[in-house]
């Protein structure tokens, strides 16, 4: 296992947000180390990232020339780069250590770090935890999968700041020594099967968040989640950190945040301390109750008082692209849930509405079947609007339901893209209906990321408002 002081040549693979930050960090903090950035895709060499890296002295190998150089001590891999990449395969064949950007960045960071992972709720819980610390006067930086690369932080924050990081399975699969002071596992359901090949590989990557924790660390797990419970039952959860649980239905074990008689509480030094009534939480829905309890437990673990935690829990406004109400036009409410990039996230979103829903689904499928989703829409969804690369696969699932139960099955329609879907919903929705973009798919078929998809939805809705 190489150490930073042993390195003479680093290769950074992938020049997106994380990779660019890692390459710049290497040049600024390791001036005597040769840094080469390679990218096997198309890169805008006129863009600001390329110019900054070029000026810092980073060497480049791009496109067809993006082969692994002969001189290399470690490969720093961006999370978006799959393991099938030729450069990754070459590194494995040559025995070159592979670090994720998270592994590389945190070797420069002495800060206490709260790592939050799971299938759904990561962004909400990460932003909420960061807000709790910020409101309590604790120096804090929020980074990771939420859009701000961890590799930028060593150049920008003080050592006393607490880092709250949202981490995906992609970011965790190539860690080596990464050890968060507090690690949070929100839930586990199928996701990213197209990348990991099977549920087992996906879960194993998630569980790595705990593997290097020692007795001075805290591991927080959702005690109400079936996926988490299954891993605990088989003894697969690694690490030696102090283990505690959160969730709305506390049972046996070291429960650190829960609900009793409609009141949320958090444990401080073994004592239950009331936070606020569940009805007073700013975030609504059963899934957000778990997210709020997770954030409360994490904040308490780094020393925030229950009173300060409660204050933010009552006022937190939520995050963009997650059940974000965009507008109400002609009595129809338009909701942007573009962050719902898997089936379980969309199922949770549907529980937030009791009225007629026009559900926009589709994008880049991740390998999970859609039959459960098609069945779950029945009685909740007025019509499903299927778009994007996955539209045909979604149609098969909805058609199977219609063949089984023609009267109870959810009506559906196939359309070309998001613009056509919004226009169709606007034409068919009635006063009191909800148009919900909750795609259950990634965005990469037609957009760079879920943020761009959500922003396009917002633009389309705002245009509707101007026309009304």
360 vs 354: CA distance, rounded Å: 17
Among residues 315, 390, 316, which one has the least CA distance to residue 346? 390
**Radius of gyration (C-alpha) of the chain in whole angstroms:** 23
Question: Which residues have a Cβ under 8 Å from the Cβ of 307 and sit 6 or more positions away?
Answer: none
269 Rama class: left (phi>0) / alpha (psi -120 to 50) / beta: left
Q: Exposed, middle or buried: residue 269 (CB in 10 Å: 0-12, 13-18, 19+)?
A: exposed
Within 13 Å, how many C-alpha atoms sit on residue 308's CB side?
18
Q: Taking every pair of C-alpha atoms in the chain, what is the biggest distance, in angstroms? A: 70
Helix axes 286-301, 306-315, angle to 10 degrees: 150
Specify the length of the chain in residues: 468
Options 77, 111, 120, 145, the catalytic residue: 145
How far is Cα of residue 224 from the mean position of the Cα atoms in its chain? 20
- 71 phi/psi in degrees, rounded to 5: -95, 110
Which two tokens mark 281? Answer: 């939480």
> Order of strands across the sheet with 357-362?
324-329, 332-336, 434-437, 357-362, 381-387, 412-414
Is the CB of residue 341 less than 8 Å from the CB of residue 408?
no
122 given a catalytic annotation: yes
Instruction: List the Cα angle 221/189/237 in 5-degree steps.
Output: 40
**Active-site residue, from 77, 111, 120, 122:** 122
Q: Which residue among the candidates 111, 174, 187, 192 is catalytic per the annotation?
A: 192
- Report the C-alpha gap between 312 and 223 in whole angstroms: 23
Return the bridge partners of 276, or none: 264
SS (H, E, C) 369-428: CCHHHHHHCCCCEEEEEEECCCHHHHHHHHHHHHHHCCCCCCCEEECCCHHHHHHHHHHH
- In three-state secondary structure terms, 141 is strand
Residues with a known catalytic role: 122, 145, 192
């Amino acid at each position: 296992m190489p150490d930073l002081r042993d390195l003479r040549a680093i290769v950074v693979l992938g020049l997106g947000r994380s990779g660019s930050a890692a390459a710049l960090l290497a040049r600024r903090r390791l001036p005597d180390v040769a840094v080469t950035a390679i990218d096997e895709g198309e890169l805008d060499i006129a863009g600001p990232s390329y110019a900054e890296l070029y000026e810092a002295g980073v060497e480049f190998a791009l496109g067809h020339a993006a082969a692994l150089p002969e001189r290399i001590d470690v490969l720093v891999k961006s999370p978006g780069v799959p393991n099938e990449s030729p450069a990754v395969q070459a590194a494995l064949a040559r025995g070159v250590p592979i670090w994720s950007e998270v592994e590389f960045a945190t070797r420069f960071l002495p800060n206490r770090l709260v790592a939050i992972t799971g299938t759904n709720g990561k962004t909400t819980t990460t932003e909420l935890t960061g807000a709790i610390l910020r409101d309590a006067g604790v120096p804090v930086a929020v980074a990771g999968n939420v859009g701000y690369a961890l590799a930028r932080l060593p150049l920008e924050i003080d050592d006393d700041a607490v880092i709250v990081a949202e981490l995906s399975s992609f970011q965790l699969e190539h860690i080596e020594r990464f050890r968060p002071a507090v690690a949070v596992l929100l839930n586990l359901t199928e996701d990213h099967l197209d990348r990991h090949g099977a549920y087992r590989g996906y879960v194993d990557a998630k569980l790595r968040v705990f593997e290097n924790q020692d007795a001075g660390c805290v591991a927080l797990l959702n005690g109400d989640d079936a996926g988490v419970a299954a891993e605990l039952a088989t003894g697969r959860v690694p690490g030696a950190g102090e283990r505690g649980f959160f969730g709305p239905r506390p049972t046996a074990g070291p429960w650190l945040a829960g609900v009793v008689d409609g009141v949320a509480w958090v444990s401080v030094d073994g004592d239950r301390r009331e936070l606020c009534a569940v009805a007073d939480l700013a975030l609504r829905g059963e899934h957000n109750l778990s997210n709020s309890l997770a954030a409360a437990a994490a904040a308490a673990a780094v020393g925030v008082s229950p009173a300060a935690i409660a204050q933010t829990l009552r006022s937190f406004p939520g995050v963009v692209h997650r059940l974000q109400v965009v507008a109400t036009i002609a009595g129809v409410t338009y909701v942007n849930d573009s962050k719902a990039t898997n089936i379980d996230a969309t199922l949770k979103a549907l529980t937030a509405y009791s009225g007629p829903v026009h559900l926009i689904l589709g994008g880049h499928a991740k390998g999970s079947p859609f039959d459960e989703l098609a069945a779950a829409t029945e009685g909740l969804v007025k019509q499903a609007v299927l778009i994007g690369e996955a539209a045909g696969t979604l149609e098969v699932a909805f058609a199977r339901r219609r063949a089984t139960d023609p009267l109870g099955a959810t009506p559906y329609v196939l359309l070309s893209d998001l613009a056509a879907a919004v226009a169709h919903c606007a034409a068919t929705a009635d006063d009191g209906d909800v148009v919900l973009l909750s795609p259950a798919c990634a965005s990469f078929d037609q957009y760079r990321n879920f943020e761009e998809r959500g922003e396009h939805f917002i633009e389309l809705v705002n245009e509707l408002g101007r026309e009304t």
